[in-house]
Amino acid sequence: MAGLSELASRLRTELGTEKVIDDRQELRTYECDGLAHYKVVPGLVVLARSTADVAAAVRACNDAGVPFVARGSGTGLSGGALPHADGILIVMSQMREILEIDRDGQRAVVEPGVINLQVTRAAAAGGYYYAPDPSSQQVCSIGGNVAENSGGAHCLKYGFTTNHVLGVEFVDPSGNVIEIGGKAPDSPGYDLLGTIVGSEGTLGIATRVTVKLTRAPESVETLLAGFDDTDAAGQAVSAIIAAGVIPAAVEMMDALAIEAAEEAVHCGYPEGAGAVLVVELDGPASEVDAQFADVKRLCDQAGAFELRVAADDAERALIWRGRKSAFAAVGRISPDYIVQDGVIPRTALPEVLRAIADLSGQSGVRVANVFHAGDGNLHPLVLFDDAVDGAAEAAEKVSGQILDLCLQHGGSITGEHGVGADKAKHMPDMFTADDLDTMQLVRCAFDPNGLSNPGKVFPTPRLCGEVPGRHRGAHPLVEAGLAEQF
């Protein structure tokens, strides 16, 4: 491909040879993200070390009309960092310096390749942490978190990435470096930051990120409750919320998920439980003590047959281990599985879980449920064996039907894993053509040539030359019968 080899030599000159990869074998390392069933070998890889590197690479792409895709740690589960065969993959993982921990100002300034958990580690000595905690926090990058607006178990109380990012240095798709936001709140103008967070790399590349640090809580209490079934556990969740308690986390697992976790990590969850809840409260000791008593009572009343309170951090870790290992653990009870990610209003949980059970029963496809019960973010694990004819298709179908259920209940097709390449086709199920068209106005403003991570998020990219939505339908005066148009 002539275009790309010219680009490669331009970038070698501008950035240095060691930062440009075009060896076919090496390129293969980057052919997919955490969603391994989509694979494309990138045309070229740039290992960026600085903002200038990113800007140079983007400018080169812009000049040549070549698409580019940013990649953080590559743990995304929606194919967001899936490369283009005729494009450049800009890898951010070597930009991994924590530039500043400003304890007094409760901010950290980091490069985008910094691993999420490293921010918390760096802030811990001063009594602070970085609140958004995706389960992948040991491996995923802050840049990837910004792009995906990542969430985690503690987001119910503390919010998502978007609530904790205050500024980015940003390379727009023309290669301009722009500062947006910073340590102070409310910078004047449109909230471009709020728009960029969660845009999955389609508006440009974050090259530096300013985040909020959160005071580490004085007290943390964690309990594990065993219930006969998910209905009872769901009732407990509703009762807790109705009592005005916002726990730091409320996680639920059903029987099949428990079975998988037991087999994998022997977490010793209550014997015979049809569902378990992990409930965590944190905050000032006086507050946590009062609320924790309520939570225990409410779980009891909802029919918990066993309540286990973590006496110390070691026991807390054990309780969480089962939950956190659930995805991986499922691999032990099924050769293959799909991790679905959908959202429903929390009050619809019992109904939707029953409907999922029905789908499973009718199709013979097993579904294990592990999820963030507090905010209605489901992660049904749809199990199958690829060696069995038609099994993958059946699982795909059930997985899609679960998303339909989420939408029927007023929910969303993704709560944290993003749309990426995987769910772009489902966007029209959730949004009208006009809704999508309006999002495209933003896309076209940032990226008129459509080079930044094209093919992700939106099912049909538009040409930005036409002015969307205008001159549609009849002239209002014609409509009103006051004029004619020929």
Partner 1 sequence: MTDVLDALQRATGGHAAVAGEADVAGGVPAKWVAAPGSTEEAAAVLRTAAAEGLAVAARGAGTKLDWGTPPRRLDLIVDIGRLDRVIEHAAGDLVVIAQAGVPLRTLGEQLAEAGQRLAVDEVVPGTTVGGMLATGLSGPRRMLAGAVRDLVLGVTLVRADGVVAKAGGKVVKNVAGYDLSKLVCGAYGTLGLVTEANFRLHPIPPAAAYVTARVPDAAAAYAAVQRMLHGQFVPTAVELDRPEPGGPVEIAVLLEGTEAGVTARTAQAVEALGDGAAEGPQPGWWGALPAGDVLVKVTTELTGTGRLLDGIEKAAPAAVRGSAGVGVLYASVAAPDAAGFVLALRDAAPSWQGSVVMLTAPPEVRSEVDSWGPVAGLELMRKVKDRFDPDALLAPGRFVGGI
Ligand X SMILES: Cc1cc2nc3c(=O)[nH]c(=O)nc-3n(C[C@H](O)[C@H](O)[C@H](O)COP(=O)(O)OP(=O)(O)OC[C@H]3O[C@@H](n4cnc5c(N)ncnc54)[C@H](O)[C@@H]3O)c2cc1C
145 or 360: CB nearest partner 1:
145
73 or 230: CB nearest ligand X:
73
User: Of 45-53, 139-147, 387-395, 431-439, which segment contacts ligand X by CB under 6 A?
Assistant: 139-147
11 or 101: CB nearest partner 1:
101
User: Of 143-151, 237-245, 268-276, 381-389, which segment contacts ligand X by CB under 6 A?
Assistant: 143-151
Distance CA 295, CA 52 (A): 52
Could you say whether residue 380 binds ligand X (CB under 6 A)? Answer: no
Residues contacting 382, CB < 8 A, separation 6+:
337, 338, 340, 365, 366, 367, 395, 398, 399, 402
Spatial contact of 201 and 458, defined as CB atoms under 8 Å apart: no
Could you say whether residue 144 binds ligand X (CB under 6 A)? Answer: yes
Measured from the CB of residue 132, what is the shortest distance to ligand X in angstroms? Answer: 8
Number of residues that bind ligand X (CB under 6 A): 36
Estimate the crossing angle of helix 285-301 against helix 230-242, to 10 degrees: 140
Spatial contact of 80 and 418, defined as CB atoms under 8 Å apart: yes
Residue 37 contact partner, candidates ligand X, partner 1, none, CB within 5 to 8 A by sort of partner: none
b/e per residue 35-65 (b: at least 16 CB within 10 A) = beeeebbbbbbbbbbebebbbbbbbbbbeee
11 or 55: CB nearest partner 1:
55
| Beta strands 88-91; 44-47: pairing state | parallel
Distance CA 51, CA 110 (A): 12
Binding residue for ligand X (CB under 6 A) from 197, 206, 224, 382? 206
Tokens coding 312? 């110390």
Could you say whether residue 112 binds ligand X (CB under 6 A)? Answer: yes
Could you say whether residue 147 binds ligand X (CB under 6 A)? Answer: yes
Residue 469 contact partner, candidates partner 1, ligand X, none, CB within 5 to 8 A by sort of partner: partner 1
Spatial contact of 309 and 222, defined as CB atoms under 8 Å apart: yes
C-alpha closest to that of 132 among 105, 109, 102, 162: 162
Residue 201 contact partner, candidates partner 1, ligand X, none, CB within 5 to 8 A by sort of partner: ligand X
Estimate the crossing angle of helix 349-363 against helix 391-408, to 10 degrees: 160
Residues contacting 470, CB < 8 A, separation 6+:
none
Q: Which residues 277-336 are close enough to bind ligand X by CB under 6 A? A: 327
Measured from the CB of residue 310, what is the shortest distance to ligand X in angstroms? Answer: 21
Q: Which residues 406-445 are close enough to bind ligand X by CB under 6 A? A: 416-417
Distance CA 220, CA 175 (A): 45
107 or 324: CB nearest partner 1:
107
191 or 358: CB nearest ligand X:
191
Q: What is the DSSP letter of 312?
A: S
CB atoms within 10 A of CB 178: 12
Residue 389 contact partner, candidates partner 1, ligand X, none, CB within 5 to 8 A by sort of partner: none
Binding residue for ligand X (CB under 6 A) from 4, 30, 33, 172? 33
49 or 212: CB nearest partner 1:
212
Strands (E), 48-192: 68-71, 88-91, 98-102, 107-110, 128-129, 165-171, 177-181
Residue 127 contact partner, candidates ligand X, partner 1, none, CB within 5 to 8 A by sort of partner: partner 1
96 or 409: CB nearest ligand X:
96
Task: Write the single-letter amino acid at 353.
Answer: L
Could you say whether residue 210 binds ligand X (CB under 6 A)? Answer: no
Q: Which residues 64-103 are close enough to bind ligand X by CB under 6 A? A: 69-77, 80-81, 92
Measured from the CB of residue 390, what is the shortest distance to ligand X in angstroms? Answer: 27
Could you say whether residue 34 binds ligand X (CB under 6 A)? Answer: yes
**Residues of the shown chain interacting with ligand X in the complex, contacts defined by CB under 6 A:** 33-34, 69-77, 80-81, 92, 112, 134-136, 140-141, 143-145, 147-148, 150-152, 200-201, 205-206, 327, 416-417, 453
